[in-house]
């Protein structure tokens, strides 16, 4: 069946076309078929039929940043370019991501503003375009560089106060500009009946780990923020942007646990977007052919394998027009509308055309999240007509990403010759190994004999198909052999 990502009353939806289709020939069409958007950042000079044909989503690259449209008192100015972008998107049924409201950089006349002024600006920006903007980056790049795992030291963090000295800003008596900004944004959305989703956006947060296998403390800090402001009585944050500016900085590489980290955030009930994607050619030894293409393939597949990863945005169209032109990190060469597809384009298109997995979707997806399936793509049964029948029940296989002192385990559960309604995987962990966190399963025990059971949305698995869960731990899990029991 065909499908299309549509913007109806400001809400992102997926609509069936009712007909079987051949593989899509554009990124926009292929992504829509898979149940997500694929977009690009641009300014008014890039708007043409090529752009609207190839991309289903638009992020203003610079024209909605505070230095372009904010007055010192929080009112708006010079919105002409932003209006042009939004109007183009509306005319071409494209999703818009507003970028960005509260940011330490490119703040313009808002630099150093107090929270009251920031709240005024947030209200004005939201109501200017209303539900025409499906997603807004309310807070951008709030965390320090170099994997510190802390907030930035400069404004607007200077507005924060840790009232009880416990090292965080989440307590009721604390002052937190992140909480206060999202609170104001949520109030405006609700008071005006908007469908706009509110996002937090940052870079070097993509993997669970960094180069060498150490913990990604910046990602953990972002996770703590999102968890704090989504799991209480008031859900302030609707979506998380992994900027995905991948390069050879030790904290910016593509790690094997990218999918696991996307899933970790998705399990908090938020949408996850790869919001500013480009992949430096340094990660493929300066090869912008198949080497770079394989890197794009891995990143796109990681998103497709997680149901709540609902959008991918590349940060520009062609290498020469990129903010990082020398790194040749985008999908096209050429300029000024005369673009040539790179091997990376073909790889992305192929992955999007493969679609998502076929397991049962979560029982409570986000209201406007496309009704797509979680976990992994279907795995075709290996037995042919002349092969012995695959036994009933289930099997499990584990793969490890290990480093000195820790590991991430990904476990694939495969149903046998008959569908299953639930599963439990047992593992005997080596001495010294301890489970510290997990996703897509509920565990009993953290060391020694440990069991993992399905959660509500991934217990039912069709015959010959697979789902995945994962966990992270300290020590070593080398040699752990899983067993699987079906129910």
Residues forming the active site? 141, 276
Tell me the DSSP string of 442-466: EEE-SSSEEEEE--TTSS-B-TT-E
HSE-CB for 44 with a 13 A CA cutoff: 11
Tell me the DSSP string of 313-327: EES-SBGGGSTTGGG
Total number of residues shown for the chain: 487
Tell me the DSSP string of 344-397: HHHHHHHHHHH----SPPPSS--TTS-----S---------TTSPPPPSSEEEE
Report residue 390 as tokens: 């695959």
Q: Radius of gyration of the chain from Cα atoms? A: 23
Letter string b/e over residues 298-317, b meaning 16 or more CB atoms within 10 A of that residue's CB: bbbbbbbbbbbbbbbbbbbb
Structure-token match 């009930």, residue found:
269
Q: What CA–CA distance (Å, rounded) separates 456 from 170?
A: 30
**Nearest to 27, CA basis, from 97, 87, 82, 94:** 94
Q: Strand locations in 167-324, DSSP E?
A: 197-202, 239-242, 245-246, 271-279, 309-314
Q: What CA–CA distance (Å, rounded) separates 130 from 96?
A: 11
Q: What CA–CA distance (Å, rounded) separates 316 from 332?
A: 9
The enclosing H or E element of 261 equals: helix 258-266
Strands 332-335 and 338-341 come out as antiparallel
Query: Which residues 6+ apart lie within 8 Å of 326 measured at CB?
Result: none
Report residue 19 as tokens: 């007909």
Start-to-end C-alpha separation, the chain: 31
Query: Which residues 6+ apart lie within 8 Å of 181 measured at CB?
Result: 101, 102, 115, 118, 119, 122, 138, 139
HSE-CB for 245 with a 13 A CA cutoff: 15
């Amino acid at each position: 069946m065909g499908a299309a990502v549509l913007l109806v009353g400001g809400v992102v939806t997926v609509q069936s076309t009712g007909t079987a289709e051949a593989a899509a020939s554009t990124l926009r069409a292929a992504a829509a078929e898979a149940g997500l958007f694929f977009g690009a950042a641009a300014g008014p000079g890039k708007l043409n039929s090529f752009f609207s044909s190839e991309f289903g989503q638009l992020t203003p690259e610079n024209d909605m940043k505070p230095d372009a449209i904010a007055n010192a008192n929080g009112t708006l100015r010079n919105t002409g370019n932003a209006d042009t972008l939004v109007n183009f998107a509306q005319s071409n049924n494209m999703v818009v991501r507003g970028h960005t409201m509260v940011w330490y950089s490119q703040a313009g006349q808002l630099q150093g503003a107090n929270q009251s002024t920031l709240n005024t600006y947030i209200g004005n920006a939201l109501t200017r375009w209303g539900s025409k903007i499906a997603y807004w980056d309310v807070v951008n790049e709030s965390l320090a560089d170099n994997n510190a795992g802390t907030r930035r030291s400069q404004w607007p963090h200077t507005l924060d106060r840790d009232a009880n000295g416990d090292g965080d800003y989440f307590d009721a008596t604390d002052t937190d500009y992140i909480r206060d900004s999202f609170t104001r944004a949520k109030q405006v959305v609700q008071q005006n009946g908007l469908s706009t989703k509110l996002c937090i956006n940052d870079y070097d947060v993509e993997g669970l780990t960094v180069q060498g296998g150490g913990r990604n403390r910046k990602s953990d800090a972002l996770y703590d923020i999102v968890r704090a402001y989504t799991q209480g009585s008031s859900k302030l944050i609707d979506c998380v942007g992994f900027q995905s500016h991948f390069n050879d900085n030790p904290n910016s590489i593509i790690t094997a646990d990218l999918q696991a980290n996307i899933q970790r955030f998705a399990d908090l009930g938020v949408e996850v977007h790869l919001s500013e994607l480009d992949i430096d050619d340094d990660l493929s030894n300066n090869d912008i052919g198949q080497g770079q293409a394989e890197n794009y393939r891995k990143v796109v597949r990681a998103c497709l394998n997680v149901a709540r990863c609902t959008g991918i945005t590349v940060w520009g169209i062609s290498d020469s027009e990129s903010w990082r032109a020398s790194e040749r990190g985008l999908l096209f060469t050429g300029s000024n509308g005369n673009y040539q597809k790179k091997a990376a384009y073909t790889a992305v298109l192929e992955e999007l055309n493969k679609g998502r997995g076929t397991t049962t979707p979560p029982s409570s997806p986000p209201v406007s999240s496309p009704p797509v399936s979680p976990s992994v793509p279907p795995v075709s049964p290996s037995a042919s007509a002349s092969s012995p029948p695959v036994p009933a029940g289930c099997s499990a296989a584990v793969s490890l990403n290990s480093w000195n002192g820790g590991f991430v385990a990904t476990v694939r559960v495969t149903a046998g010759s008959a569908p299953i309604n639930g599963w439990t995987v047992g593992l005997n962990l080596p001495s010294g190994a301890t489970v510290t966190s997990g996703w897509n399963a509920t565990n009993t025990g953290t060391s020694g004999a440990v069991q993992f059971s399905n959660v509500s949305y991934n217990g039912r698995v069709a015959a010959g198909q697979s789902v995945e869960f994962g966990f992270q731990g300290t020590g070593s899990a080398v040699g752990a052999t899983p067993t699987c029991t079906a129910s």
